[in-house]
Structure 1
Amino acid sequence: MEFRLLGAVEVWAGDQQVDLGPRQQRLVLAILALNVNQLVPLDRLVDLTWPDSPPQTARHAIHVRVSQLRTVLAMAGADRDDVKINTRGPTYVLRADPMSVDAHRFRALLTAARLETNDLERVSMLRRALDLWHGPPLADVATPRVEDLCRGLEEARLTAMEEWLDAQLRLGRHEAVLDELAEYAGQYPYRQRLLAQLMLALYRAGRAADALVAYRLARSRLVNELGLDPSPQLQKLERAILRGDPKLDLP
C-alpha cells in the first residue's frame, strides 16, 4: 500500500487507487501519514481540519472519519500490508512502513543523496526524489494551517532541486539543464542560488552577456522590490564573469 501526499492525496493498493471518500476524510489520513508511526492528538486533527471555528461536533466527526478510513483501508488490503490506524487515548496513529509514504521516501532519498560522493549517483537519487512530486503537498485538501505544516517539505523540494542542478553543473551538463534552470529562476526570482546556477550555466554555454543580463535584472528586482543587494557570492560571480575567470570553467 502506497500513500501519496506530494500532490493530491492518494492511496494505491498495487495498481488500484483507493477511494478515500470526502475531502475531510482524505485530510485526516494525510495528516496521519505525514506523521506515520507517531501519535497525533485528536485536538490537533480538529485544529488542522477546521482552522477557523470548529463545530461542536468536530471531535465526533474526526472519530467518524477515522472509523470510515479503517474500513476503506481494510477493504483495500491494509491487513495484508500491516497498515492500521490505532487509537491510544485521545490520539491516533497510522502504523505503516514509512517508506510507503512518498513524503518520507523523498526525505530518505534526499539524505542518501547528500551522503553520496559520486555525482552520477547523486543526480540519480535526487532525480528519483524530485520525481515523487506531482504538485504542492496535500494539494486537494490543504487548509492555511496545513500549508504552514507543509512549508518545510516545499523548502526541502526546492533545496533538492538546487542540489540536483549543482551536481549536473559539476558533471558539465550545463547545456542540458539551461531551459529548466531558466524556468526555475523565473518561478523563484528571489532564490539567489538558482540565479548563480543560471549565470554559471549561461557562461559555460558561451553566453556571458546573457549571464550578466540575468544578474542585472535580478539585482534591479532585489533592490526595487525588497531593498536588498545581491549576496556577496553573486556579486563575486558577476565580477568573475566580467573578467572571464578560468576558475568558472569546468575542472
Structure 2
Amino acid sequence: MELQLLGAVEAWVEGRRLDLGPRQQRLVLAVLALKVNQFVPVERLVDLTWPESPPHSARHAIHVRVSLLRTVLTLAGAGRDGVEIHTRGPLYVLRADPMCVDAHRFRALLSDARNATDDVAKASLLRRALDMWHGPPLADVVTPPIEALCQGLEEARLTALEEWFGAQLRLGRHEAVIDELAEFVIQHPYRQRLLAQLMLALYRAGRAPDALVAYRLTRRRLVDELGLDPSAQLQKLERAILRGDPALDLPEPPVGPVGDDDHPPA
C-alpha cells in the first residue's frame, strides 16, 4: 500500500486508487499519515478539520470518519501490509511502515543524498526525491492550520531543490540548468541561494551581464518590498563576477553529457 501526501491525498493498493471519501475524511488520514506510528489527540484532529467554530458534534464526527477510513483500509486489504488505524481513548494512530508514506520516503531520500560523497549519486537521489512531488503537500485538503503543518515539508522540498542545483553546478552542468533555475528564482524571489546559483550558472555560461542584471533586479525588490539588502554572500558573489574572479570557474572540466537526472521536476 502507498499513501501519497506530496500533492493530493491519495491511497493506492496494487495500482488501484482507493476512494478515501470527502475532504475532511482525507484530511484525517493525511494528518495520521504525517504522524505515522504516533498518537494524535482527537482534539488536534478537530482543530485541523474545523479551524474556526467546530460543531458540537465535532468529536463524534472525527470518530465516524476514522471508522469509515478503517473500513476502506480493511476492504482494500491494507492490513496485509500492516496498515491499520488504532484507537486508545481520545487518541488515534496510523500503524504502518513509514516508507509506505511518500512524505517519509522523501525525507529518507534526502538523508541518503546528504550522506552521499559523490555528486552524481547525490544528484540522482535528490532527483528521485523531488520527482515524488505532484503539487503542494496535502493540496486537496488544505486549510490554514494544515498549511502551517506542512511548512516543514515545503521548506525541505525547496532546500532539496537548492542542493540538487548545487550538485549540478559542481558537475559542470550549468548550461543545462539555467532555464530551470530562472523559473524557480521567479517563483521564489526571496530565496537568495537560488539566485546565487543562477548568477553562477550564467557567469560560467559566459553571460556575466545577465548574472549582474538578475542580481540588481533582486536587490531592488528586496529593498523596495522588504527593506533589506542582499546577503553578504550574494554581495560578495556580485563583486567576484564584476572582477571576473577565477575562483568562480570550475576547478575541473565539466563532467560528461547531460543525462536523465539533469532536469528537476516541473
Distance across 2 between alignment mates of 1:131 and 1:182: 19
RMSD (Å), alpha carbons: 0.5
Q: Which residue in 2 is equivalent to 1:92? A: 92
Secondary structure class of the residue paired with 1:134: coil
- What's the offset of the Cα at 1:14? 1.4
Are 1:148 and 2:148 counterparts?
yes
Distance across 2 between alignment mates of 1:23 and 1:176: 40
Are 1:231 and 2:231 counterparts?
yes
Secondary structure class of the residue paired with 2:132: coil
Q: Which residue in 2 is equivalent to 1:5? A: 5
Secondary structure class of the residue paired with 1:79: helix
CA-to-partner distance for each residue in 1:10-41, whole Å, 9 max, x for gaps? 00001100010111110000000000000000
State the TM-score, normalized to the length of structure 1. Answer: 0.99
Are 1:61 and 2:61 counterparts?
yes
Q: Which residue in 1 is equivalent to 2:21? A: 21
- What's the offset of the Cα at 1:80? 1.2
Q: Which residue in 2 is equivalent to 1:169? A: 169
Alignment of 1:1-251 (within 5 A): 1-251=1-251
Secondary structure class of the residue paired with 1:213: helix
Percent same amino acid at aligned positions?
Answer: 78
- What's the offset of the Cα at 1:89? 1.4
State the TM-score, normalized to the length of structure 2. Answer: 0.94
CA-to-partner distance for each residue in 1:47-105, whole Å, 9 max, x for gaps? 00000011000000000000000000111111211110000111000000000000001
Secondary structure class of the residue paired with 2:11: strand
- What's the offset of the Cα at 1:167? 0.5
- What's the offset of the Cα at 1:211? 0.3
**Letter of the aligned partner of 1:123 in structure 2?**
A
- What's the offset of the Cα at 1:119? 0.3
- What's the offset of the Cα at 1:196? 0.2
Distance across 1 between alignment mates of 2:226 and 2:142: 29
- What's the offset of the Cα at 1:239? 0.6
Distance across 2 between alignment mates of 1:230 and 1:138: 33
**Letter of the aligned partner of 2:229 in structure 1?**
D
- What's the offset of the Cα at 1:215? 0.5
Q: Which runs of 5+ in 2 are unaligned?
A: 252-266
Q: Which runs of 5+ in 1 are unaligned?
A: none
Q: How many residues align?
A: 251
Secondary structure class of the residue paired with 1:36: coil
Distance across 2 between alignment mates of 1:109 and 1:17: 24
**Letter of the aligned partner of 2:11 in structure 1?**
V
